[in-house]
Structure 1
Amino acid sequence: MSQSAPPPPQPQSPSQPQSPSQPRSAPRLQPQPADGNPFAQQQAPAPYAAQPGAVPPPPVPPVPPRGNVALGVAGAVVAAVAAAALYGMVIGLTKHEIGWAAVGVGFVIGLAAGRLGGRNPLLAVVSTVLALGSVYLGQLVGEAMIGADQLDMSFSEVFFQHFGAVQDAWKEEADPLTFLFFAIAGWAAFSGTRKAAA
């Protein structure tokens, strides 16, 4: 007669000893997703999907890249040209140099450099130099506007065809206040760059 071998003993958990008379419980199975992949993670529903009629928040606008020195310099150059034109128009229309306008020239250039270029210390130096050039160019534009008004000529004719005479007129009328406006614009550009990059 053949005797069947007894089943091998099953290891018991040390925390829960089983008595021989107690039947073993089946292991708990996790519910599987519909696609049959037991390892796929279920995603929580979106917070607005469960609430009918809820308005989702507006999309966040993309942040412009920061820390690009070339972009900061390019922005400062564009701001310097625009500020020089506006500063020259103020001088030409009022026939006076105005201190707050020089501050505005420097601040706009520094703001453009700092916002677009980031914290690079080179940008503060570049924006200061551009502010000095912008004030000088603006003063020449103002001189050309005043000269065109006095000579009954067009601005472009005086500025482009008689540029040497415009520079000579600027040299004759330059005084310590003229150079103070240079210093004001340079300081505003330097500090504006550092504040905008912070």
Structure 2
Amino acid sequence: MSQPVPPPGNPFADGAYTGAPVPPPAPPRNNVALGVLAALVAALVAGAIYGVVAGEIEREIGWAAIGVGFVTGLAAGKIGGANPALPFASAVFSLGGVYVGQLVGIAIIGGKELKIPFTEMFFQNFDLLVQAWNQTKDPMTLLFFVLAGVGAFAGARKANR
């Protein structure tokens, strides 16, 4: 008995095809400028979320600082590729993100105590926030910066595995 003849137009009818279709290769990711921009945006967004959480629970959380760094590095690596400058840029931006987050947290806590809106506290009394941050910083505050930097390197490396 002979094998049935496949319908015309089927390129896999000869039986050589045995698996799922191969997806097209991923486009090359080697745009450092976009990677840096992605790191900046991710650091600001993650830092703001970090600050809201810290302000609402009235304390900082180490894993959240790592998260700010990790998200920043991951965004840079996914968008910008494996350029060796991106983990460093991510680390710098993650430090800024944690700093902004700490200021947001202080503004939320201060706004609750003074019974004024967050926006007024953050935008109209920014100099007071910076003074409050300087007066309340301690070794743990600086540890959060270190954790964010380590998280940024880890995120950038993870993005390119």
Q: Same fold (TM over 0.5)?
A: yes
Structure 1 CA distance, aligned partners of 2:27 and 2:107?
38
Report the Cα offset of residue 171 of structure 1.
1.0
1:165 equivalenced with 2:128 (yes/no): yes
Structure 2 CA distance, aligned partners of 1:58 and 1:155?
53
1:124 to 87, 112, 125: 87
Report the AA paired with residue 45 of structure 1. G
Moved over 3 A (4+): 47-50, 57-65
1:156 equivalenced with 2:119 (yes/no): yes
Q: How do residues 33-182 of structure 1 correspond to structure 2 at under 5 angstroms?
A: 45-47=9-11, 60=23, 63=26, 65-182=28-145
Report the AA paired with residue 67 of structure 2. G
Structure 2 CA distance, aligned partners of 1:103 and 1:142?
16
Report the Cα offset of residue 195 of structure 1.
2.2
Higher-RCO chain (CA-CA 8 Å, sequence separation at least 6): 2
Structure 2 CA distance, aligned partners of 1:108 and 1:115?
10
When Rg is computed on C-alpha atoms for both structures, the one with the higher figure is 1
Report the Cα offset of residue 45 of structure 1.
3.2
CA RMSD after TM alignment: 2.2
Q: Which runs of 5+ in 1 are unaligned?
A: 1-43, 51-56
Question: How many corresponding residue pairs?
Answer: 149
1:192 equivalenced with 2:151 (yes/no): no
Taking structure 1 as the reference length, what is the TM-score of the superposition? 0.70
Structure 2 CA distance, aligned partners of 1:58 and 1:141?
49
Report the AA paired with residue 166 of structure 1. L
SS where residue 158 of structure 1 aligns? helix
Percent of matched pairs sharing the same residue: 55
1:83-136 C-alpha deviation (Å, 9 max, x unpaired): 011000011101001011001000000000111111111101100000000000
Structure 2 CA distance, aligned partners of 1:64 and 1:95?
44
Report the AA paired with residue 106 of structure 2. E
Structure 1 CA distance, aligned partners of 2:139 and 2:61?
14
Q: Which runs of 5+ in 2 are unaligned?
A: 1-7, 15-19
Structure 2 CA distance, aligned partners of 1:65 and 1:98?
36
Report the AA paired with residue 181 of structure 1. F
Structure 2 CA distance, aligned partners of 1:153 and 1:64?
49
2:17 is matched with none
1:31-55 C-alpha deviation (Å, 9 max, x unpaired): xxxxxxxxxxxxx8324789xxxxx
Aligned partners of 1:65 and 1:116 also within 8 Å: no
Aligned partners of 1:144 and 1:155 also within 8 Å: yes
